[in-house]
Structure 1
Amino acid sequence: MDCLNPIDSAAAESPYEVLLRAVLLIPVSHYLLGLSLIVVVFLYNFLEIHILQDLFTGLRGQKVVLTFNPSSQLYRDVVSKCRVLHGRYLSTPWLCSPHLQTVFLHFLGNSPVVSYRRQIFITSDGGTLALDWVKNVEVKNLAYQVNDAVEQDDKKPIVIIIPGLTSDSNSAYVKHLAFSMAKRGWNVVVSNHRGLGGVSITSDCFYNAGWTEDVRKVIDHVHSQFPEAPLFLVGTSIGANILVKYLAEDGINAPIVGAAAICSPWDLLICDRFINRKLAQRFYNKALAIGLKDYAHLHEDVLSRLSNWEGVKKGTYEMNEVNCLLNRSCHVRFGTLMIVQLVFLTVDTYYRRSSSSSFVGSVTTPLLCISSLDDPVCTSEAIPWDECRRKQILEVSDVIFQIRGFTCNYIKPHESG
């Protein structure tokens, strides 16, 4: 009977105790390795890293995806001859994530040194805009001298840049844009939004994603000053949304030879929902809110006179008995506080009426739209694919150029193929 005691003792042991003893037998290094793998997988998905996909394609990059009408005049005259539109795109291997690219450009990007000549433009309602004309650019000690003053009969092309939300002529990506065009001998001017670029708000009107009047007045002013120079328009982010809406509203009356909309949000309502959907996007939501709140505090003297400033500071605002949580949906919403209060019933109504996707069908100016399929803010879900495939649009104007890689960061594309 004594020989059965060990068996009875083992049978009496709890299965949880057996499992615990087995777990304790596994070396700590194995746990650390497993934890590391979990962290790597999490970060790979959270940061939307695509190095494995790039390696799978042999580092040849992704093919550029074009949405257009092959029979359009624009395609035959321009797109068919533009090599980069028919090549591949490969982001820098160690920046194989839209989030890494964004952080790199913001904190570590080596933007060119750009000198501006400022022109103050006063609007009909008393608002003040800063027009910054590029006069000198320098990159890696290589300087390009640009005309310090544009002659009235100058026939060199003029490019008007419309920056994105809370951006101005000193933003890194705006400097890259200005440098790229100025070094080719074109005259470049950045049309800063109201209250940005070091200029105060001098009227009761603020800019927003659907406000095209300032752009219209600036374009008319530049065109009247330099009637012989062909005018081109480039907009980024919110500036691209304003650009497309302006071209649609003015149609054939717009004195623009050609335009480019870079990283347009297209549908503001979809983008608003998108940046509240995932954890990574909520960081951008918060960053946008901080920028907009800084903009509001910069012009507190005007906003406090026109709005419920205490509500703004607390992050909420009463509007037509609707409590808008400004810190919940920050993409444009906080910055358009006044226009929403005075014109639109709700913020979502403002989004719908200001979205350029509703206007792109009326554009008659040659327009190149550049978007990134993995843009962390302006989601590809908002791109108006069907509108851009319609013959009546593309015959006269539109070509959509889509690449993988966060375009606004201007990482050099892979030029194979």
Structure 2
Amino acid sequence: MGALVSQVWAARSSRVPRLYFAVDPAKVSVKAPAVTGSDADEQPKESLDAFIAARCPSLYGDFSPPWWLFNGHLQTAYAVMGDFSKIDRVEYDRSLLRTLDGGTIGLDSTPPANERTLPDDTPIVVALHGLTGGSHESYVRAILAPACTPVEQGGLGYRGIVVNFRGCAGVPLTTPQMYSAGHTDDIRVAVMHIANRYPKARLLGIGFSLGANVLTRYLAEEGTQSRLAAGCVVACPWDCSKNAAGLEHQWLHRTVYGKAMAQNLRRLLGRHANEIAKFPEHPLAKTLPEVLSNKPMSLTQFDAIVTRVVGGSSPPFPFPSAWDYYVWASSHEVLPNIRVPFLALNAEDDPVVQVLPVEAGGNPYVVFAVTEKGGHLGWFETVQSTGEVRRWVSRPIVQWLRAVGEDLVVGDRQVGSLHVVDGFLKEVGRDDIGCKEVESGGHVVGVEGEAGLFAGL
């Protein structure tokens, strides 16, 4: 990879992830041992590669898929069709946020208040789901279950809050604006709300697939002003244009993955047909009959009709074409702007993600972990002690969350002040976005998914 990136762990076999750091990784402050005297106030520093080597041993060990899940297509298929209802059970309290434009975002928090009370400074994992997912998805629960299990039961004891995008996971659609891979204002106001509600807590971001792309762009846009102390992205799409081309120009990808994702999006809109009908003059209402017709549709065709028009606020929406939207929404070129420790996990055989930008523009805060196998949001392995099929990726991610949640020392950041204007929480100096909590969404059982949707896509 030339001078821009250093592959610091030469894999002994194809089962060991390859790790990519900048040639000169960032120095991060870590908690010092308890000392007294003149050095008591000094915080030691470690390079990011040493920080991870000491705290994330799973990234330096084997990932061995079962013999019957030996490639990315099978791993991805199992993520879609496997039964995960009896493992990683997570329950949530839901609250609904109303954005300044009238949209609604759903925040699902675990553990529920009636289960146990956590200290105000408990680290919070802020999670963003995939294309049409939500807090019920098995890949979300695979992380939040161990992260939010009490310490005395072997977990981290953290709080988890899933940001459910507009219209997803039972969240009402109160405007015809949807969400997309590039629109970051909804996560921005959600993080503002969480930071305002838990001012003593450290916030740690994790995103999956489309949510990973949104998180990457958010962290890049925020830079040193990020309210999230660290980020982790899982199966991030990165270059949306090349992914779309791969889905369009390869028969298997177009027939299986592209159509499945488009079908998920069409069904999602179908559930909100009555809500969309309240805006009869809006482009989304006018195109809804075409979207819901029985005519086969690829993901690019859906994005050309819907996402490029209603996938975010104006400007920059609408875009002239789906391809213009893909160029804008991609995250690979913004990687150099991230200024918090950032772990990216991808699989080489992911059928959805075509290119991995492991050089990350030479950003010293970024580390890439790349496995040869794993598919899209898969990474299934057999647990030898029990024979269960579980996600290997949960282990390094939970180790990372513990490291950045407990060992990392976060210095002063240039975070903007928050205030309430006409009932909406806003950042001082920015009046175009804001949010307020409008109501409780009740109790959510995490294994109750969205019937009719292909899980994991």
Normalising by structure 1, we get a TM-score of 0.73
Q: What is residue 204 of structure 1 aligned with on the other side?
A: 176
SS in 2 for 1:78: helix
| Secondary structure of 1:159 counterpart | strand
Instruction: Name which of 303, 306, 309 aligns with 1:338.
Output: 309
Aligned mate of 1:258, from 199, 208, 230? 230
Distance 2:158 2:58 in 1: 21
Match of 2:142 in 1: 176
Amino acid at match of 2:166: R
Query: Is 1:399 paired with 2:367?
Result: yes
**How far 1:338 moved relative to its partner?**
2.6
Query: Residue 130 of structure 1 aligns with which residue?
Result: 106
- With the length of structure 2 as denominator, give the TM-score of the two structures: 0.67
The equivalent of 1:408 in structure 2 is 377
Matches within 5 A, 1:16-55: none
Deviation at 1:209, TM superposition (A): 0.9
* Mapping 1:8-407, distance limit 5 Å: 61-72=14-25, 73=27, 74-81=47-54, 82-110=56-84, 111-135=87-111, 148-150=116-118, 154-183=120-149, 184=155, 185-282=157-254, 283-304=256-277, 305=280, 306-307=282-283, 309=285, 311-315=287-291, 327=298, 329=300, 333=304, 336-339=307-310, 342-379=317-354, 381=355, 383-388=356-361, 390=362, 393-394=363-364, 397-404=365-372, 405-406=374-375
The structure number with the bigger radius of gyration is 1
The total of aligned residue pairs comes to 334
Structure 1: gaps spanning 5 or more residues: 1-56, 137-144, 318-324
Distance change in 2, residues 1:112/1:76 (3 Å): closer
Structure 1 residue identity aligned to 2:270 = H
The structure carrying a bigger helix percent of its residues is 1
Q: Structure 1 pair 179/276, CA: closer, same or farther in 2 (3 Å)? A: same
Aligned alpha-carbon RMSD (Å)? 2.8
Q: Please state how far the C-alpha of 1:158 moved relative to its aligned partner.
A: 0.2
C-alpha change, 1:332 and 1:85, in structure 2 (3 Å) is farther
Could you report, residue by residue, the CA deviation over 1:251-297 in whole angstroms, capped at 9, with x for unpaired residues?
11111111101100001111001112323212011100110101121
Residue 150 of structure 1 deviates from its aligned partner by: 4.7
Q: Secondary structure at the match of 2:257?
A: helix
Given residue 367 of structure 2, which amino acid in structure 1 is its aligned partner? V
CA contact (8 A) 1:243 1:261 kept: yes
2:90 is paired with a residue whose SS is strand
- 1:251 alignment partner AA: G
By relative contact order (CA 8 Å, sep 6+), the higher-ranking structure is: 2
Moved over 6 A (4+): none
Measure, in 2, the Cα distance between the counterparts of 1:315 and 1:204.
14
Name the CA distance, whole Å, in 2 between partners of 1:133 and 1:369.
24
Per-residue CA deviations over 1:201-246 (Å, capped at 9, x if unaligned) read 1123211111100100011111111111110000000000000100
Letter in 2 for 1:360: L
Give the structure 2 partner of residue 38 of structure 1.
Answer: none
Contact 1:206–1:338 (CA under 8 A) maintained in structure 2: no
Q: Which amino acid aligns with 2:328?
A: R
What letter is aligned with 1:166?
T
**Per-residue displacement from partner, 1:291-319 (whole Å, max 9, x unpaired)?**
010112122235452126564433599xx
Unaligned runs of 5+ in 2: 1-10, 28-46, 150-154, 382-391, 396-457
Q: Identity of counterpart residues, as a percentage?
A: 25
AA partner of residue 347 (structure 1): A
Alpha-carbon shift at residue 115 of structure 1 (Å) = 1.1
Contact 1:269/1:348 (8 A) holds in 2? yes
